[in-house]
Structure 1
Amino acid sequence: MATLLRSPQGELPEGRKRNRTTDEAYERTLISPFALKRLEGRLIYWLVFTLLVLATLGTLGPIYWMFSGALKSSSEIFQTPPTFWPVHPQWSNYSKAWDILNFPVHFTATMVLAVGAVCLQIFVSATAAYALSKLPVAGKSIIQFSFFCTLMVPPVVYLIPQFVNINDLPLVHISLINTWAGVLLPEAANAFNILILKSFFDGIPNELSEAAWLDGASAWQLFVRIILPLSRPALAVITIFTVIASWKDFLWPLLVLSDDQLQPLMVSLYHQSGTNSNLPFMYLIAGLVLASIPPILLFLLFQRQIIRGINLTGLKG
Structure 2
Amino acid sequence: MADSQTRTLISRAQLSRPLARRIYWTALVVTIVVFAVFFLFPLYWVASSGLKSAAEVEQIPQTLIPHTWEWGNYATAWSNYDLGRLIFNTAYYAFGALVLQLIFDVAAAYALSKLRPVLGNAVLFLMLGTLMIPATVLVIPNYLTAVNVPLLHWSLINSPLAIWLPSVANGFNIFLLKRFFDSIPEELMAAAAIDGAGPLRALRSIVLPMSRPILAVVSIFAMVAVWKDVLWPLLVITDTSKMTINVGLLNLTGDGIPMNVEMASLTVAAIPTIIFFLIFQRNIMSGLTAGSLKG
The TM-score with structure 1 as length reference comes to 0.86
1:90-239 equivalences in 2 (<5 Å): 90-239=70-219
Letter in 1 for 2:15: L
Map of 1:21 onto structure 2: none
CA contact (8 A) 1:9 1:32 kept: no
Q: For residues 201 and 27 of structure 2, what CA distance do their matches in structure 1 show?
A: 53
Q: Structure 1 residues 271 and 313, CA, compared in 2 at 3 Å: closer, same or farther? A: farther
Q: Deviations over 1:127-154 (max 9, x none)?
A: 1110110003111221222122111111
SS for the counterpart of 1:171 is coil
Q: 2:274 aligns with which of 292, 296, 312?
A: 296
Which residue of structure 1 aligns with residue 4 of structure 2?
A: 9
Corresponding residue of 2:12: 33
Question: Could you list the per-position Cα deviations for residues 255-296 of structure 1 after superposition, in whole angstroms to 9, with x for gaps in the alignment?
Answer: 10000011010000000112xx12111111111111101111
Q: 1:287 aligns with which of 257, 260, 265?
A: 265
Match of 1:252? 232
What is the Cα deviation at residue 100 of structure 1?
A: 0.9
Change (3 A) 1:250 1:146: same
Letter in 2 for 1:36: L
Kindly provide the amino acid, as one letter, of the partner of residue 303 in structure 1.
Q
Equivalent position of 1:72 in the other structure: 52
Residue among 296, 303, 308 paired with 2:286: 308
Q: CA deviation at 1:219?
A: 1.4
User: Do 2:77 and 2:262's aligned partners in 1 also have CA atoms closer than 8 Å?
Assistant: yes
| 1:314 Cα offset (Å) | 2.7
Look up the equivalent residue of 2:97 and give its one-letter code. A
* Aligned-pair CA distance for 1:47: 4.3
2:41 aligned residue: 61
Higher relative contact order (CA 8 A, sep 6+): 2
Structure-2 separation of matches of 1:34 and 1:118: 49
| Alignment deviations for residues 177-197 of structure 1 (CA, whole Å, 9 cap, x no partner) | 121111111111211111111
Check whether the contact 1:200–1:231 (CA below 8 A) recurs between aligned residues: yes
Query: Which residue identity lines up with residue 295 of structure 1 in the other structure?
Result: T
The one-letter amino acid paired with 1:212 is A
Determine the C-alpha separation between the residues in 2 that align with 1:46 and 1:312: 32
Moved more, 59-68 or 42-51: 42-51
- Correspondent of 1:84 among 64, 70, 76: 64
Residues 266-281 of structure 1 mapped to structure 2, 5 A cutoff:
266-274=246-254, 277-281=255-259
1:33 is displaced (CA, Å) by 2.2
1:157-209 CA deviation, whole Å, 9 max, x = no partner?
11111111111111211110121111111111211111111111011111111
Whole-Å separation in 2 of the counterparts to 1:261 and 1:210: 52
Name the counterpart of 1:17. Answer: none
Q: Which residue of 2 aligns with 1:20?
A: none
Distance 2:260 2:147 in 1: 37
Q: Does structure 1 retain, via aligned residues, the 8 Å contact 2:157–2:236?
A: yes
CA contact (8 A) 1:197 1:313 kept: no
Give the drift of 1:35. Answer: 4.4
Identity of aligned residues (%): 40
- Measured in 2, the distance between the counterparts of 1:37 and 1:172 equals 72
**Contact persistence 1:72–1:90 (CA under 8 A):** yes
Unaligned runs of 5+ in 1: 11-25
**Mapped partners of 2:232, 2:12: distance in 1:** 50
Superposition deviation, residue 55 in structure 1: 2.8
Post-superposition offset of 1:49:
5.3
Q: CA deviation at 1:43?
A: 5.1
Rounded to whole Å, the distance in 1 between the matches of 2:107 and 2:75 is 44
TM-score (norm 2): 0.92
Q: Is 2:242 the counterpart of 1:262?
A: yes
One-letter code aligned to 2:92: V
Aligned equivalents of 2:231 and 2:100: distance in 1? 20
Residues 70 and 289 in structure 1, CA contact (< 8 A), matched pair in contact too: yes
